[in-house]
């Protein structure tokens, strides 16, 4: 006779913690660190683009093209792109975790967030590093006016 009698008021089951890297902790730390760095990057970006020199009226295709030939601004913009998109994506993942109760909706929403973040990061990085305002062999009427001066 080995009948197991269930203990009265059986405790609610809580899944044991999985071993390995704790992504929740690193996600939490990432949000704080990237937030501080982004404050500097974004306000620096706004200050240079909208305030310095002629201010906002200097902003045009040539201004952006000029900035993207400078390695300093290329690194600045890529950093801003990666940090901001991952920061925003992780924040939206947190909201989904908090408010999406069905596993299916949760999965779809998280997958959509991940996909949009990945696409934007890849496209943005590609643009910053391969941008050429005056591609060789393009018809002259499609090029900005400063290309003829080169």
Partner 1 sequence: MTTATITPPAVPEATPSFTVTLMIRRFNPEVDAEPHWQDFDVELYATDRVLDALHKIKWEQDGTLSFRRSCAHGICGSDAMRINGRNRLACKTLIKDLDITKPVYVEAIKGLPLEKDLIVDMEPFFESFKAVQPFLVASTAPKDGKERIQTVAQRERFDDTTKCILCAACTSSCPVFWTDGQYFGPAAIVNAHRFIFDSRDDNAAVRLDILNDQEGVWRCRTTFNCTEACPRGIQVTQAIAEVKQAIMRGKP
Pick from 4, 6, 9, 52: which binds partner 1 (CB under 8 A)?
A: 9
- Nearest-approach distance from CB 33 to partner 1, in angstroms: 12
Q: Is 24 in the site for partner 1 (CB under 8 A)?
A: yes
How far, in Å, CA of 94 to CA of 83, rounded? Answer: 16
Joined together, the tokens standing for residue 137 give 């062999």
Q: Is 19 in the site for partner 1 (CB under 8 A)?
A: no
Cα–Cα–Cα angle for 29, 47, 120, nearest 5°? 55
Residue whose C-alpha is closest to residue 79's, from 116, 47, 40, 52: 40
* Beta carbon nearer to partner 1, 101 or 130: 101
Q: Is 102 in the site for partner 1 (CB under 8 A)?
A: no
- Nearest-approach distance from CB 99 to partner 1, in angstroms: 6
């Amino acid at each position: 006779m080995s009948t197991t009698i269930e203990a009265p008021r059986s405790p609610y089951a809580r899944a044991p913690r999985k071993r390995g890297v704790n992504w929740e902790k690193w996600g939490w730390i990432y949000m704080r660190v990237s937030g501080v760095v982004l404050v500097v990057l974004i306000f620096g970006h706004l200050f240079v683009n909208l305030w310095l020199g002629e201010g906002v009226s200097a902003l045009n295709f040539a201004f952006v093209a000029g900035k993207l030939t400078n390695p300093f601004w290329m690194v600045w913009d890529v950093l801003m792109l990666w940090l901001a998109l991952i920061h925003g994506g992780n924040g939206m993942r947190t909201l989904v975790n908090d408010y999406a109760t069905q596993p299916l909706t949760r999965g779809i929403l998280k997958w959509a967030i991940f996909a949009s973040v990945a696409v934007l990061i890849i496209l943005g990085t590609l643009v910053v590093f391969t941008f050429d305002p005056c591609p060789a062999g393009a018809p002259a009427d499609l090029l900005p006016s400063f290309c003829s001066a080169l």
